[in-house]
Structure 1
Amino acid sequence: MLNAEKRKTLLLLIPVILVLIGYVLYPSIETLLESFKKNGVFSLENYSDFFGEKSAANFEALWNSVYISLLSVLLSALIGIPLAYIFNRYDFPGRQFFSNIAIMPIVLPSLVGVMAFMYLYGEAGLVPNAIKDVLNLSEVPFSIGGITGILIVHAYTMYPYFYMTTSSALNNIDPSLEEAAYNLGSNKFKVFWKVTFPLLTPGLVAASLLVFMVSMASFSAPFLLAGGFRVLSLQIYFSKINGDLEMAATQSVILSVVSISFLLFMRWYQDRKDYRMASKGIGAHRSEVSNPVLKWCMVTLGILAMIVLLLPHATLLILSLVPEGAWTWQTYPTAFSLENFILLFEDPNIWDPVRNSMVMSLLACLGVFVFGIITSYALVKRKFIGKNLLDILVMIPWALPATVVGMNLILAFNEPSAFSFGKILVGTFWILPLAYFVRFIPLVVRSTTAVLEQMDDSIEEAAQNLGAKWFYTFRRVVIPIIMLRRT
């Protein structure tokens, strides 16, 4: 007979395992099987071609993907961690406003963000041409592109992962721990390095994994900014459009192996120590910046950073107001109107896709919110065999390019199956919400895990000792803590 705790763990794990097997593992297995086929026959020829001397392009793409991803992690951390520390540990005029603006880049879809940067900082972009005209130069002083352009776009769009997870971890640290270190004679740097930084490790690991895997799957930036610069996600795309689905599947498998290897390394690094602490319910402490010069320097830097962060969004607004034909060969837009917005609401062919996108996104958001919290709770607060394997399954959708996730689902659900309830999902409304749901499972699980890692088990135990049932404790204690510390 199972005891009560094991039954609760089993009840949590059953729906989690079924979802992961049906919509993550099963489609991935379809891709794996495809990689071992050559002209429909089982063969290792695809892997031989990938690692053979004649396929140097694949090795180059693999290396480019890895080092660009590692640099993206580094640059995103160098931006996101200091911003999180400043906005969560110091109080100065406009702090709350600047803190809210800091997460704005994450709302830009990757393709839209790249296009905004091209219109802003590309060779024909607004900023370089404005500088050229103001300084009366013969040519634009700069333009983004190549590897530098990829890294700039990655750093801009991905640093919010570090900012959000670091902010959540900082707000969860009991100030008395740092105060005790100060009272024992430690200086600020030593307190940060010996006390604060180790407690940030779960959040930093979560952010590193997300940034690395998003960068490995990056498609728009290498394709548009670097003229088809070889990365593995582009190689997969080219293999697909050339009709070589077996090689595309092989490249997808190798991309997954690299990303999962990074996941295992980061998990090993995090599991070396225990980062839990007992919170006393003390709110985050912020130091008032008393030096007027320093205070207004921080405000000025905040304003400049706000302008830089909002420029891509402003560019999109400008583009939306430019009627067709008013910005083609011209340096700047020659006319503005509401023509595009009028067409949006008058033409069903334009509005219907917008409405469908919002409905599908809402359904996926609700599903991944519920599933992500349950999965994170099981991974952090429950002990069971195969936890690492479950964690790997959770991260698989983030290790694959979005196009590969879509192809996985197509291969899995282009015919009736038990996981599609006997229906063909391809070509129906439900295939896209399912794809969004699968794709963003890791994002919710990782960010929630960073919070639960620091929540001491005694908080739940106290509620249960007062007579609360497990589900009531989960609903009234655990979920509010997650929501509070992630906001």
Structure 2
Amino acid sequence: MTATTTTPGAGADQDRSGTRRTRTALARATWSGRIFAVCCAALTLVLLALLVFPLGSMLVRELDTAAIRDVLGDDAFYEAARNTAILVVVPGVFAVAIGSFFAWVNERTDAKMGAVSTMLPLAPLVLPQIALSVGWIFLADSHSGVLNVFLRSVLRHVGIHLASGPFDVDSWYGMIFLYTIVLVPLVHIMVSAALRNLDPSLEEAARVSGAPVWRTLRTVSLPAIRPAIGASCFLVLLMGVAQYSVPRTIGVSARIDVLSTYLVRLFQSFPPKTGSAVFVGVLVLVVMAAAWLLERRLTRRQSHSTIGGRGQTPSLVRLGPLRWVVRVVMLGYLAVASLLPLVALLIVAFLPYWTAHPDFSAMTLANFRTYFADDGFRRALTDSAELGAVGATAGVLIAAVLVSFARLRGGRAVRGIDMVARAPGAISHIVLAVAFLIALGGAPFYWANTLRILILVYVVMNLPQAWVAADTAVDQIGQPLTEASAISGASSLRTMVRIHLPLMAGGLAAAWAMLFVVIVGDLNASSILAGPDTPVVGSVILSIFDNGTYSQLAALGSIIAVASGVIVSLVMLLTRRLQAAASQPRRSRARRNRPRSAQESR
């Protein structure tokens, strides 16, 4: 595999010249390429309309100067903004560091553990975020948490008597901890895909020249995947600001208000302060747009390595005795991020009610029977599964096609499509859901309380995550491959189908799994748009949580976690097998086409 590194000077001039030749060749594409360009332009305009029309309708109808004065004079707004900044920056730094480290360990060292390493980034995702939060409430509630009760009993034997604790999830530390767990998988997915597609020859050259492992990582590996790290930082910012499940469950008890809960409170007040919420959404939009411009500016200035034309398997870094230390750390993270809260959910799910001292002789299946005997729950589960599958598939396909087209055409196409695709991430999910409800809920559409409006909101709301994943995947594809395709006469459509999509398959599969789980357990849009005729898992979970029936909530969370885990595992396994099957013929053809030596010729 040959690395293509963009650097100032002659090399950069050659790259720009090659890019111009490629785009000139693509401009001479066949009729299929022209039709493809028209379809991509139409799709971009549709996405822009789906964003501008609802937001414009909401701004025209709801925003006024009185609402602006109310927000700017509200001390609660400044407190929520400050808390949001803390809960994005601090856990974000932890998440980027932890996710990048685990990705490097799994892709470049001998500490990886097969299927465990494969599922490591996805394990926290298969558990709905509200179920993860409630699971940790069951574990680390200062008085009744199972883990706290166990630790207090152990400490009592050594003469230490505690009335509560030692952990308290309803605190700043608990919020930072859970935010970090939620954000780490996003970084891990992005960085792992970049390392998997990265040409390992540069790293091996550094090691052969005598550079230590950590110096190679710092000076070669990390700079080479800087676009993926920058994209993951932006994605962490998007998801951190939009986070609602953890603040809704933990933050309310800890009295830590953030912008997402502040917005919901504005909408649910009587009368609803929709104008104030819209103005807050506009402020968030400005901040996110500035962050996006900064991320793009820094990414484009940096050089990075990409996929080239010849395959090469990276040699793993041998960690020696540290290998087992790293494995223990990874298994500990896996237990903390998914196993422990899932076990807590299962324990509470089999009990009639939650108690600090559970009576295991009273375990029952009644909570599960209640759900499977309830037509409403079965319909909610079916609706969420269908919405997750359709929304994830549509989001990933739209992102993959538009990213590939934008990179092949370049110039204004990149900037325009990139801006349209990322724009929903700068808008609060709650505000976006309300905008769609205002614009499409009444005449002439009457889409309120329908699955159509839910699927539209899910696709638009999660498009930035899919776009960032697809953009990172295509960013690792080297220019020589695209140039060879263009010079040989292939259209942009054929180049996308035969080169881009196969090489992007791993990153796209991970993005699909991430979007599916996020949509199935969504609380943001479902809290606004779901109704009695369109029940979804998120609205059911929120209703149960508000009623305080924790055993039923634990049963529902367990069902969703197991179902999501099975589906995501099957998708990732199938994708890896397809990739292996697709790469085998290419290796066989390469061996057949390899020039023979003189001895072989004789």
Q: Same fold (TM over 0.5)?
A: yes
Q: Equivalent residue for 1:394?
A: 421
Q: Secondary structure of 1:380's partner?
A: helix
Contact 1:209 1:266 in 2 (8 A): yes
* Alpha-carbon displacement from aligned partner over 1:209-265 (angstroms, at most 9, x marks no partner): 111111112223223223342222222111111111111111111122222221221
Letter of the 2:501 partner, please give it: I
Please give the alpha-carbon distance, in whole angstroms, between the structure 1 residues aligned to 2:363 and 2:310.
53
2:70 aligns to what? Answer: 49
* 1:239-297 Cα deviation digits (max 9, x unpaired): 11111111111111112222222122111111212435352443452426373x33333
Task: State yes or no: 1:21 paired with 2:48.
Answer: yes
Deviation at residue 35 of structure 1 after TM alignment: 5.0
For residue 291 of structure 2, what is the amino acid of its counterpart? F
> Which secondary structure does the structure 2 equivalent of 1:135 belong to?
helix
Letter in 2 for 1:306: L
Q: Specify the alignment match of 1:181 in structure 2.
A: 206
Deviations 1:390-448 (A, max 9, x none): 3233223223332222111111212356xxxxx33222221111121111111111011
**Contact 1:101–1:306 at 8 Å: present in 2 too?**
yes
1:295 alignment counterpart: 323
Paired residue for 1:331? 357
Quote the sequence identity (%).
21
> Could you tell me the TM-score, scaled by structure 1's length?
0.88
**Structure 1 alignment gaps of length 5 or more:** 38-43, 418-422
Partner deviation per Cα, 1:56-86 (whole Å, 9 max, x = no partner): 2222222221232111210111211111111
Which residue is equivalent to 1:88? 107
* C-alpha distance in 2 between matches for 1:102 and 1:125: 26
Correspondence 1:444-455 to 2 at 5 A: 444-455=466-477
Whether the 8 Å contact between 1:149 and 1:226 is mirrored in structure 2 is no
- Which residue, 498, 515, 534 being the options, matches 1:476? 498
CA distance in 1, matches of 2:378, 2:306: 50
- Residues in 2 aligned to 1:384 and 1:35: alpha-carbon distance in whole angstroms: 37
In the alignment, the residues of structure 1 paired with residue 355 and residue 307 of structure 2 have an alpha-carbon distance, to the nearest angstrom, of: 62
Give the deviation of 1:358 after TM superposition.
Answer: 0.9
- Compute the displacement of 1:50 (Å): 2.6
Corresponding position of 1:229: 256
Counterpart CA distance in 1 for 2:371 and 2:178 is 29
* Residues 1:355 and 1:278: Cα distance change in structure 2 (over 3 Å): closer
Report whether the alignment pairs 1:132 with 2:152.
yes
Amino acid at match of 1:258: V
**Does residue 275 of the first structure (1) align with residue 304 of the second (2)?**
yes
Distance of aligned partners of 1:352 and 1:472 in 2 relative to their CA distance in 1, 3 Å threshold: same
2:396 is equivalent to residue 369 of structure 1: yes
**Letter of the aligned partner of 2:481 in structure 1?**
I
Mapped contact 1:161–1:207 kept (Cα < 8 A): yes
The answer to whether the 8 Å contact 2:83/2:258 transfers is yes
Q: CA deviation at 1:164?
A: 0.9
Q: TM-score, normalised by structure 2?
A: 0.72
Q: Is the 8 A contact 2:80 2:257 kept in 1?
A: yes
Matches of 1:177 and 1:93, distance apart in 2: 21
Q: Which moved more, 1:91-100 or 1:348-357?
A: 91-100
* Change over 3 Å in CA distance of 1:313–1:25 after alignment to 2: farther
Summarize deviations over 1:144-175 as a string: whole Å, max 9, x none. 22222111111001101111111111111111
Deviation at 1:330, TM superposition (A): 4.5
Alignment partner of 1:348 is 2:382:
no
Give the number of aligned pairs. Answer: 469
**What corresponds to 2:570 in structure 1?**
none
Offset of residue 386 of structure 1 = 6.2
1:119 and 2:130 are equivalent in the alignment: no
Q: Which whole-Å CA distance do the structure 2 matches of 1:480 and 1:386 have between them?
A: 23
Identify the residue that residue 304 of structure 1 maps to in structure 2. 332
3-state SS of 1:208 partner: helix
Change (3 A) 1:271 1:177: same
Q: Following superposition of structure 1 onto structure 2, how do residues 148-163 of structure 1 map, counting pairs within 5 Å?
A: 148-163=173-188
Q: State the SS of the aligned residue for 1:211.
A: helix
Q: Is the 8 A contact 2:135 2:342 kept in 1?
A: yes
Paired with 1:4 and 1:416, the residues of 2 have a C-alpha distance of: 46
